[in-house]
Amino acid sequence: MKDLSWRTAEQIAWLEHRSPHLSPAQTHQALLVWRRFVRVHHHRSWVPPDSSGCGVWGCCFMPHHARKILYRVAHDLGPQRGRELRTLLRRLDRLL
């Protein structure tokens, strides 16, 4: 995953494999969605946070759902790896 160490990416993959709430590569997909959302200037016209959208990542993107996944993963990782992901998320959040 771009901007994360291989150790953090490895721990995320382990977490995705062990967690019933995650699927393989879901964190990576969520990070791509969130990164795209914060970098696009017209992001406020995207699907509102209370909308369920169609549920297809490639269609509605659901950026707020992606951010919730990232929040959960960042807090489920160990202290050092979680800090690395939270630092990246803070950097991206500042772009909003």
**Does residue 48 lie within any of the structural domains?**
no
Q: What pLDDT, in 10s, does the model give residues 5-57?
A: 999 999 999 999 999 999 999 999 999 989 988 888 666 555 566 665 665 65
Q: What pLDDT, in 10s, does the model give residues 52-80?
A: 566 565 566 678 889 999 999 999 999 99
**Does residue 49 lie within any of the structural domains?**
no
Backbone angles phi, psi at 38, to 5 degrees: -75, -20
**Does residue 78 lie within any of the structural domains?**
yes
Expressed as residue numbers, the domain containing 77 is 6-41+54-93
Confidence of residue 2 (pLDDT cuts 50, 70, 90): confident
Q: What is the pLDDT of residue 46?
A: 57
**Which two tokens mark 47?**
């699907």
- How many other C-beta atoms lie within 10 A of the C-beta of residue 32? 16
- DSSP class of residue 43 equals G
Is the pLDDT at 88 greater than 80, yes or no? yes
The rounded radius of gyration (Å) of the Cα atoms in the chain is: 13
Cα–Cα–Cα angle for 72, 3, 53, rounded to 5 degrees: 45
What is the number of structural domains in the chain?
A: 1
CB-facing half-sphere around the CA of 20: CA atoms within 13 A: 0
**Does residue 47 lie within any of the structural domains?**
no
**Does residue 36 lie within any of the structural domains?**
yes
